[in-house]
Amino acid sequence: MSASNNLEAAAADIASDVRGVLASKDLDSVPHIKALRQRIDTKLAIARELAAEKSKLAAKKAREAASATNAYAHDEPWQIAGAALAVGVLVGLLLGRR
Protein backbone atom coordinates (compact mmCIF):
# COMPACT_ATOMS: atom_id res chain seq x y z
CA MET A 1 0.00 0.00 0.00
CA SER A 2 1.46 3.38 -0.99
CA ALA A 3 1.88 6.38 1.26
CA SER A 4 -0.84 8.28 -0.56
CA ASN A 5 -3.25 5.40 -0.02
CA ASN A 6 -2.34 5.31 3.66
CA LEU A 7 -2.88 9.06 3.94
CA GLU A 8 -6.23 8.84 2.16
CA ALA A 9 -7.31 5.94 4.37
CA ALA A 10 -6.31 7.85 7.51
CA ALA A 11 -8.21 10.93 6.33
CA ALA A 12 -11.26 8.80 5.58
CA ASP A 13 -11.08 7.21 9.05
CA ILE A 14 -10.83 10.60 10.73
CA ALA A 15 -13.70 11.96 8.64
CA SER A 16 -15.82 8.94 9.51
CA ASP A 17 -15.06 9.31 13.23
CA VAL A 18 -15.83 13.03 13.25
CA ARG A 19 -19.05 12.52 11.30
CA GLY A 20 -20.02 9.76 13.72
CA VAL A 21 -19.54 12.05 16.69
CA LEU A 22 -21.38 14.94 15.05
CA ALA A 23 -24.22 12.71 13.87
CA SER A 24 -25.14 11.96 17.46
CA LYS A 25 -28.84 12.63 18.14
CA ASP A 26 -27.89 14.33 21.41
CA LEU A 27 -26.13 17.07 19.45
CA ASP A 28 -29.14 17.89 17.23
CA SER A 29 -30.41 20.22 19.93
CA VAL A 30 -27.25 22.37 19.71
CA PRO A 31 -27.85 25.15 17.14
CA HIS A 32 -24.24 25.48 15.94
CA ILE A 33 -23.76 21.81 15.09
CA LYS A 34 -25.09 22.13 11.52
CA ALA A 35 -22.63 24.95 10.75
CA LEU A 36 -19.83 22.98 12.42
CA ARG A 37 -20.67 19.90 10.35
CA GLN A 38 -20.53 21.96 7.14
CA ARG A 39 -17.20 23.56 8.07
CA ILE A 40 -15.68 20.20 8.92
CA ASP A 41 -16.92 18.65 5.66
CA THR A 42 -15.47 21.58 3.70
CA LYS A 43 -12.11 21.37 5.45
CA LEU A 44 -11.94 17.60 5.03
CA ALA A 45 -12.64 17.98 1.32
CA ILE A 46 -9.83 20.54 1.07
CA ALA A 47 -7.49 18.23 2.99
CA ARG A 48 -8.32 15.35 0.63
CA GLU A 49 -7.62 17.53 -2.40
CA LEU A 50 -4.30 18.69 -0.94
CA ALA A 51 -3.30 15.12 -0.13
CA ALA A 52 -4.14 14.04 -3.67
CA GLU A 53 -2.10 16.95 -5.10
CA LYS A 54 0.88 16.16 -2.88
CA SER A 55 0.66 12.51 -3.84
CA LYS A 56 0.65 13.37 -7.54
CA LEU A 57 3.56 15.77 -7.08
CA ALA A 58 5.60 13.17 -5.19
CA ALA A 59 4.88 10.56 -7.86
CA LYS A 60 5.91 13.01 -10.59
CA LYS A 61 9.18 13.83 -8.80
CA ALA A 62 9.90 10.13 -8.30
CA ARG A 63 9.32 9.45 -12.00
CA GLU A 64 11.60 12.36 -12.94
CA ALA A 65 14.34 11.11 -10.60
CA ALA A 66 14.05 7.59 -11.97
CA SER A 67 14.20 8.92 -15.52
CA ALA A 68 17.27 11.04 -14.74
CA THR A 69 18.96 8.08 -13.06
CA ASN A 70 18.16 5.84 -16.01
CA ALA A 71 19.51 8.40 -18.47
CA TYR A 72 22.71 8.81 -16.44
CA ALA A 73 23.20 5.06 -16.23
CA HIS A 74 22.82 4.76 -19.99
CA ASP A 75 25.08 7.74 -20.70
CA GLU A 76 27.83 6.77 -18.22
CA PRO A 77 27.75 2.97 -17.84
CA TRP A 78 31.44 2.64 -16.94
CA GLN A 79 31.13 5.07 -14.05
CA ILE A 80 28.19 3.08 -12.70
CA ALA A 81 30.13 -0.17 -13.09
CA GLY A 82 33.17 1.37 -11.37
CA ALA A 83 31.08 2.62 -8.46
CA ALA A 84 29.43 -0.80 -8.12
CA LEU A 85 32.85 -2.45 -8.18
CA ALA A 86 34.15 -0.08 -5.49
CA VAL A 87 31.16 -0.76 -3.26
CA GLY A 88 31.56 -4.50 -3.82
CA VAL A 89 35.25 -4.39 -2.90
CA LEU A 90 34.51 -2.35 0.22
CA VAL A 91 31.76 -4.74 1.34
CA GLY A 92 34.04 -7.69 0.58
CA LEU A 93 36.85 -6.20 2.68
CA LEU A 94 34.51 -5.48 5.57
CA LEU A 95 33.03 -8.98 5.50
CA GLY A 96 36.50 -10.53 5.11
CA ARG A 97 37.69 -8.93 8.35
CA ARG A 98 35.14 -10.82 10.40
The amino acid at residue 33 is I
pLDDT at residue 1 above 60?
A: no
Mean pLDDT of 24-31: 70
Q: How far apart are CA 94 and CA 88, in angstroms?
A: 10
Across 34-38, 53-57, 61-65, 94-98, which has the greatest mean pLDDT?
61-65
- Residue 62's H or E segment, with its range, is helix 33-75
pLDDT band at 3 (very low <50, low <70, confident <90, very high): low
pLDDT at residue 38 above 70?
A: yes
The pLDDT of residue 11: 74
pTM for the model: 0.55
Contact 53, 6 (CB under 8 A): no
